[in-house]
Structure 1
Amino acid sequence: MPSPTCYLLLNPAASRSHHRPRLPLPAAAPPRRRVHVSCDARRTGGGGGGGGVKREAIPAGTGKAKKQVVFFDAAPPVSQRGGGGGGEGEGEGEGKVARRKKENAALGLVRRLTKRTLSLLSNLPLAISEMFAIAALMALGTVIDQGEAPSYYFEKFPEDNPVFGFITWRWILTPGFDHMFSSPVFLGLLALLAASLMACTYTTQIPIVKVARRWSFMHSAGSIRKQEFAESLPRASIQDLGVILMGYGYEVFTKGPSLYAFKGLAGRFAPIGVHIAMIFIMAGATLSATGSFKGSVDVPQGLNFVIGDVMKPKGVLSFAPDVFNTEVHVNRFYMEYYDSGEVSQFYSDLSLFDLDGKEVMRKTIKVNDPLRYGGVTIYQTDWGFSALQVKKNGEGPFNLAMAPLKLNGDKKLFGTLLPLENSGSSNVKGISMLARDLQSIVLYDQEGKFVGVRRPSSKLPIEIDGNEIVIEDAIGSTGLDLKTDPGIPIVYAGFGALMLTTCISYLSHSQIWALQDGSTVVIGGKTNRAKLEFSEEMNRLLDKVPELISVNENKIDSKQSAT
């Protein structure tokens, strides 16, 4: 038979039997109601004897409060416990449990996949393979000419005569190797290597640092003797050892008879710094490849150009800044020469103007000394011969455009023609003028015979076919390369951090444990680098630990010294 269910009925009127002062009640106090407190749900049978339920009343004592404990022969129905909605509540509870199980299963699957992915990415052979693949693509990018027109690759890598028997223009243009450092293959390998570095940092380097930072005391002499270096010092004190270790730069911690010391913890953090620095370098390189602009222009002396007119985006992240509205004016272009006549250096005097026509910057640039303004860098890269100012029989000057002529090698040659007959004739003849640079002009007559050489600065006349010719000036043109590279600061910061963290990584992380075993100190230690130097350092360190002498031995030594 199930255990009876009890109801405890408290009579609130009994509280008036306590002997304590009472406050006066308000005049219109509402009538008190009897409160029923039950350990089970209220029965639906009504009052005290309703429902035909047999019960026995047992007095709970008379005194301060009148209480009754009522026993029933059977427990109330389940429907009465839940207020009539137990079945629906149980169904909802089962649904919640099922949903929770599904969520836990899905979460467990995600965790397993994440752990498996991190394990694959942090694989050292995979990371080394990625680095070799990136290096191979970089080498290939130096062999293949970058940024040329498609027709260039059609001509250099034809399908009817493949290079090495199989390399055609399709091998270059299809994967984007004509722009190697912004190609999807190259950027994808960079992203994969960055993911491997982050996975290795999370799964390997950070746990190593956490373990290294713990104060791990050893309480067993046997465990200490198993270290790479182990020694026992009889009649020594662990406190003396700790003082000497602090003098050698160790962080020392003691706990009872145990001692733990370490130094060089920065060497454990260094691999994390190396990984972060490499990620910075790759991020900067990616930003440079996908978010920069580049352009080149040949500008004659005295003319202008707008920066935005010559700049072309290199990737999807290239956004034109306001500085592209700046106008550049070439004030002067000139060259310096060696004694042999070869060009040694060339200069461009440039002025920058904003939209209001105000000069915001002026600088004379040369090779390896560019102009930088608002994130745009202007390099001096080339030179040319724009025009030749000539007087003919006192008339002019006439500006004759100089055309570049092809020569074998990297030598430059420019030429022009001063017509002496009607330009409408089908057979135009005139005076030919050739120049290798801006300092001397070679002149030929109508028959192509050499006549003489004149310097533009001399302004000396020369007679050719009955015409007096004077070379007034040689107007050069400057070859400029312009580019924006937002990733350069990130790359430089990454390389600086890489050099610093690489040096720090050579610091040895040394750990020493010691235990006071009676009058003997058991010492052990290990290090991750420079193991031979660590052993020598430990021997020097232990030689400095003082030996303890008992009182009796001290008296004997004193007597022997006295005799």
Structure 2
Amino acid sequence: MFAVAALMAIGTFIEQGEAPDFYIQKYSENSPILGFFTWKWIFALGFDHMFSSPVFLATLTLLAASLMACTSTTQIPIVKVAKRWSFLQSAKSIRKQEYSDTLPRASIKDLGLILMGNGYEVFLKGPSLYAFKGMAGRFAPIGVHLALLLIMVGGTLSATGSFRGSVTVPQGLNFVIGDVLGPIGFLSTPSESFNTEVHVDRFYMDYYDSGEVSQFHSDLSLYDLNGKEIMKKTIKVNDPLRYGGITIYQTDWSLSALQVMKDDEGPFNLALAPLKTNGDKRLYGTFLPVENSGSTNLKGISMLARDMQSIVLYDQEGKFAGVRRPNSNLPIEIDGVKIVVLEAIGSTGLELKTDPGVPIVYAGFGALMLTTCISFLSHSQIWAFQDGTAVVVGGRTNRSKGEFPDDMNFLLDQVPELIDSSASNQSEIIGG
């Protein structure tokens, strides 16, 4: 487990899934890790894809073999022993238990009834009694090991059998899922769902009162090979679309084009290009020529947009000319040209993935939480022996050892005391 944790830490430190040139430049001979670990080691050990590398998978296999060996050689025999009706045939052997006491005048049958009323399974054989409860606590460690194995199987399947991909699609266009997804590991196998076509019907955004983008949405339609619509859904951040084992997430956005009218002609779609800014703000720009395209000194009107709410326009000299909101149909005249901004066309940034190991991992973690809680249940055992009129009682537990004596004292206090018949008859004669 330490080796698996160490490899996972290395996989977090070293970037995963980058192009070879990235590792050659960052981990070159001039800047090795720990003085010797360069890109050659990363490629040789497969640490650029740690979680599907032979080293990591081999370590997981060893851990799985260790868990199975522990289950078969330790946990299962313990459960088998715990399930046996283990009677102790002498008071001496009972007094050797972790807890022991003697009831001077009591019946072992009365003790058995008290134990049954407190949730114990009770067995009598002649003068001997055996009782237990909390057997689930003995089975729980086996469940913990099986849950860990499920998690490792699911994680390995995720690392070696998944597909991932991302795409930016302008509103109104479409793509085929199989053209976007790429295999992650050697077990990655495409399904029929890869032939599904995704159409971006609409992309739009919500804004805070300050004007900042708060959420972005994509109306998606899925079509099969025959062009039949399969499903529709509006996705947003943290609300993906799921179909045929494929999940489509809303992860990003951009602006792709401005649709404008020029002197009542058009509409024209002007492609928007992202512009570099000093901060983290987005800025997109486009250019509308106003002179003959064959001119060597081409001039035009510049348009800038940060989002889909407003467009800033500049004249041929680069001076501010005004601001227009898309869909307002309000014209603006710049250098003798009348312009109407009809629409800002957005592009949706989508991330697609298939992960066949997710259900197995979720099931493993669910079982791990349940069996871990169950494993804290105490498995308690009680033995008793009828020695004449006395009952010798002993017991032990695997957990809550500090509370067990108090629980035993509480149970034994409930056992009724037997009355001596000869003493009772004598008191009746004296009284008469």
Range of TM-score over shorter length = over 0.9
Change (3 A) 1:173 1:447: farther
Alignment of 1:273-422 (within 5 A): 273-422=143-292
Superimposed CA distance per residue, residues 454-478 of structure 1 (whole angstroms, 9 cap, x where no aligned partner): 1112122222222222211100011
Does 1:272 pair with 2:142?
Answer: yes
**Using the alignment, how far apart are the partners of 1:334 and 1:535 within structure 2?**
68
Give 2:135's aligned amino acid.
L
Answering whether residue 154 of structure 2 is matched by residue 154 of structure 1, we say no
Moved more, 167-176 or 447-456: 167-176
Give the counterpart of 1:478 among 348, 351, 355: 348
Per-residue deviation, 1:145: 3.0
Give the whole-Å Cα distance in 2 for the aligned partners of 1:340 and 1:464: 29
Q: Number of aligned pairs? A: 432
Unaligned runs of 5+ in 2: none
Equivalent-residue separation in structure 2 for 1:558 and 1:180 (angstroms): 89
More relative contact order, 1 or 2 (CA 8 Å, 6+ apart): 2
1:249 paired with 2:138, answer no
Supply the distance in 2 between the matched residues of 1:400 and 1:559 (Cα, whole angstroms). 121
Cα distance, 1:432 vs structure 2: 1.6
Residue deviations 1:46-79 (CA, integer Å, cap 9, x gap) = xxxxxxxxxxxxxxxxxxxxxxxxxxxxxxxxxx
The residue aligned with 2:388 is 518
* TM-score, structure 2 as length reference: 0.95
Return the offset for 1:160.
2.7
Stretches of structure 1 that go unaligned for 5 or more consecutive residues are 1-130
Tell me, yes or no, if structure 1 residue 170 matches structure 2 residue 40. yes
* Corresponding position of 1:191: 61
Aligned equivalents of 2:46, 2:286: Cα separation in 1: 41
Larger deviation, residues 171-180 vs 390-399: 171-180
SS in 1 for 2:403: helix
Cα distance in 1 for partners of 2:42, 2:165 equals 23
Aligned mates of 1:426, 1:172 — CA distance in 2: 53
CA distance in 2, matches of 1:448, 1:175: 56
- 1:431-457 Cα offsets, whole Å, 9 max, x none, are 221111111111122222222211112
1:236 maps to 2:110 = no
Provide the residue aligned with 2:312 in structure 1: 442
Q: Which residue of 2 aligns with 1:544?
A: 414
1:549 CA displacement: 0.9
Between the aligned partners of 2:401 and 2:23, the Cα distance in structure 1 is 56
Question: What is the SS of the residue equivalent to 1:319?
Answer: coil
Give the secondary structure class of the aligned counterpart of 2:30.
coil
Q: Which amino acid in structure 1 is aligned with residue 364 of structure 2?
A: G
Give the alignment partner of residue 11 of structure 2, picking from 116, 141, 152: 141
Name the SS for the 2:356 alignment partner.
Answer: coil
For residues 316 and 410 of structure 1, the distance between their equivalents in structure 2, rounded to whole angstroms, comes to: 38
Q: Secondary structure at the match of 1:532?
A: coil
Q: 1:363 to 1:558 in 2, by over 3 A?
A: farther
Superposed displacement of residue 150, structure 1: 1.9
How far off is 1:239 after superposition? 0.8
Which one-letter code corresponds to 2:232 in the other structure? R
Percent identity of paired positions between Structure 1 and Structure 2: 74
Report the AA paired with residue 119 of structure 2.
Answer: G
The alpha-carbon distance between structure 1 residues 476 and 430, as it changes in their structure 2 partners (threshold 3 A), is: same
Change (3 A) 1:489 1:537: same
2: distance between equivalents of 1:541 and 1:427? Answer: 102
Question: Of the two, which has the highest radius of gyration?
Answer: 1
Deviations 1:91-140 (A, max 9, x none): xxxxxxxxxxxxxxxxxxxxxxxxxxxxxxxxxxxxxxxx2222233233
* SS in structure 2 at match of 1:170: helix
Structure 1 residue corresponding to 2:377, chosen from 480, 486, 507: 507
2:339 and 2:78 mapped to 1: Cα distance?
84
Separation in structure 2 between the aligned mates of residue 550 and residue 430 of structure 1, nearest angstrom:
118
